[in-house]
Amino acid sequence: MSKIQLAPIISLCPTQLTVGLLEVEAKKKHLQTLSAKDQSAFLAAHPMPVVLGPGQRMYITDHHHLARAAYDLKIAQACFEVEDDLSTLSQDIFWIHMNKESWVHPLDQHGVRHRYDSIPRTLDKLVDDVYRSVAGFVRDAGGYDKTHTAFAEFIWADYFRRNIAVEDVLQDFADAVKQGMALARDPMAKRIPGFKE
C-alpha cells in the first residue's frame, strides 16, 4: 500500500529514540535557504514513509532528521508515503510487527535498547546521539553509500561509537568526521550496509 499524502508534521510519531542534532541543524539550514515554494517542492521530493498505527497515528519509519528539522522550523505539513496500515492492531502487537519489519529502532544515545514505550510520542522529544551526526556527515561526504537497508545509519553510528572517543567528537566534530571517513574505508567496515569497495 503506497499512497502519497499531505499531513501535519506535528502529527508524526517517531519510531526511534535519537537523532543526530548536528545533522538536524544542517537540514534546517538547507530548508531555510529555500523559498516557500522550493521548500514545498523539496519536501514533496522527499516523502516521509509512515505506518498507520493504533488510533490512526502516523509513525514515521525513516527521514527522522528531515522531519525533526521541519518540526523545529514550524513547517506545517509535508508529504508522506503510507507503507502499511496497522491501525487495527493492539499497541503491543503493533510494535511486534514493526520490529519484525525493521521499522522501529529503540536504541538510545549510548546504543542501549529500550522498551517500545520509551519511544517519544513527538519529534521534539528525540534526543541527541552525536554518533548519528558523525554517521550522517560521513555518508554525505561520500564515506559510505546511502542504502535501503533498514536503519543502516544506526549500524554506522555504533561502528563509529566503538572506534572514535566521545571526547574527540565533542571537542572537534570536523576531525571526528575525518576519523570516520578513514574508518569507513577500513576492512573492519566491510560488512556494514553501504560500504564502498
What pLDDT sits at residue 55? 94
Same domain, 69 and 146: no
Same domain, 144 and 122: no
What mean pLDDT is predicted for residues 155-159? 95
Same domain, 65 and 87: yes
Per-residue three-class SS string for 116-179: HHHCCCCHHHCEECHHHHHHHHHHHCCCCCCCCCCCHHHHHHHHHHHHCCHHHHHHCHHHHHHH
Number of domains, the chain: 2
Residue 114 sits in a domain of what CATH number? 3.90.1530.10
Residues in the chain: 197
Same domain, 103 and 62: yes
Phi, psi angles (nearest 5°) of residue 102:
60, 40
Same domain, 34 and 122: yes
Q: For 32-75, what is each residue's pLDDT tens digit?
A: 999 999 999 999 999 999 999 999 999 999 999 999 999 999 99
Q: For 162-177, what is each residue's pLDDT tens digit?
A: 999 999 999 999 999 9
Same domain, 24 and 73: yes
Sheet of 48-52, strand order: 3-8, 77-85, 48-52, 58-60, 12-13
Q: Model-level pTM?
A: 0.90
Please report whether residue 194 resides in a domain. no
Q: Which of 112, 128, 144 is the last residue of a domain?
A: 128
pLDDT above 90: residue 1:
no
What pLDDT sits at residue 148? 81
146 burial via Cβ count (<10 Å: 0-12, 13-18, 19+): exposed
CB-side neighbour CA atoms (13 Å) of 9: 21
What pLDDT sits at residue 117? 94
Same domain, 24 and 62: yes
Q: What are the grid coordinates assigned to 178, written together?
A: 575525518
pLDDT above 90: residue 5:
no
Same domain, 136 and 86: no
Same domain, 49 and 142: no
Range of the domain at 68: 3-128
Type of residue numbered 142: G
Q: How far apart are CA 93 and CA 102, in angstroms?
A: 14
Residue 149's pLDDT band, with cuts at 50, 70 and 90, is confident
Same domain, 156 and 87: no
What pLDDT sits at residue 72? 96
> What is the helix (H) or strand (E) element at residue 32, kind and residue range?
helix 21-32
